[in-house]
Chain A
Amino acid sequence: MKSAVVLLPGLNRDRDMIAALTKISGQAPATVWQTDTEIPDVDLIAIPGGFSFGDYLRCGAIAARMPVMRAVAEKAAKGVMVIGVCNGFQILVEAGLLPGALMRNSSLKFVCRQVKLEISNANTMFTRRYQPGQIIRSPVAHHDGNYFADAETLARIEGEGQVVFRYAEGTNPNGSINDIAGIISERGNVLGLMPHPENLIEAAHGGSDGRALFEGALGIAA
């Protein structure tokens, strides 16, 4: 299974994402730059975390309008898997590839800590290696992770099982509605989440709770 990582000025977790994909899949992902209009033939496209374009205007707003994101949208429409982590999640909602919006944390503080995540839907390409309701650990590091959607959208995504990850056991770090930490597209191939599973994939990280997400998506045996 082949992967690609989207690079944008101001991202700072791109090397972590490249390292995780390389270690787990055994081959380095292709990289695509913001001005690229074509993405190579891959199974998974990852948009890493960071502060693209300095978070100017709104987090992810400028990145979402760059040429590479039109190419990502075309691939997503063809069913290619896309994962956006942290700023990548913000970019996906700004690009309209996922519903809702990510607002300033309710505490107004940048949060950098480990949280617990509940697998709310284990029936996706990304979560199929977890058990329904399983609690995993994951680091978070963000200032704008407060997920919001209007009542109608919220009812729809909850009803369709599009809420994939929830902050568990009182660990919600940002005030997100319904403790939402990650959501998936209706079709099930575009995932966005605020936590950083790529930063918990081996013993040196203190655990490998995030590894199964990439193994599931890339169809790699555990």
Chain B
Amino acid sequence: MIKARITVTLKNGVLDPQGKAIEHALSGLGFDGVGQVRQGKVFDVELAGTDKAKAEADLKTMCDKLLANTVIENFAVEIA
């Protein structure tokens, strides 16, 4: 079995109100020097088989088709 982690992040230039709110909350907790915070998503995916090249290609297609909205998001695929 192949285990993979997909990270989806907002593209640069896309406003992230949730990240902004988290940024302010961290400052409110007394953490000084917190710069920009951007919120994203992590998906841990298990795949049958052992062919890592195929798995990577499949995972990228999954990102394009469903897991990421490429209008506003970037994604990165990492295979353990």
Q: Assess whether B17 is interfacial by the CB under 8 Å rule.
A: yes
Q: In this assembly, does A65 line the interface, its C-beta being within 8 Å of a C-beta of chain B?
A: yes
Interface string of A73-114 (1 = CB under 8 A from B): 000000000000000000001100001110111111000000
The answer for the CA separation of A103 and B10 in the assembled complex, in Å, is: 11
A175 contacts which of B15, B69, B72 (Cβ < 8 Å)?
A: B15
B66 adjacent to A148 (CB under 8 Å)? no
Chain B stretch 40-75: residues in CB contact (< 8 A) with chain A = 65-67, 69, 71-72
Contact B71 A149 (CB under 8 A): yes
Q: How many Å from the CB of A99 to the closest CB on chain B?
A: 8
Chain B residues, CB < 8 A from A58: 69
Assess the B18–A108 pair: CB atoms within 8 A: yes
User: Within 8 Å CB of A221, what residues of B?
Assistant: none
Known contacts A57-B66, A61-B66, A65-B66; is-contact A148 B72 (Cβ 8 Å): yes
**Which residues of chain B are near A61, meaning CB under 8 Å?**
66, 69
Interface residue from A94, A101, A104 paired with B17 (Cβ < 8 Å): A104
Q: Give 19 new A-B contacts, CB below 8 A, not counting A94-B69, A101-B72, A105-B17.
A: A57-B67, A61-B66, A61-B69, A93-B71, A99-B71, A100-B71, A101-B69, A101-B71, A103-B15, A103-B17, A103-B72, A104-B17, A104-B18, A106-B15, A108-B17, A108-B21, A146-B17, A148-B15, A148-B71
Binding site for A on B (CB under 8 A): 13-15, 17-18, 21, 65-67, 69, 71-72
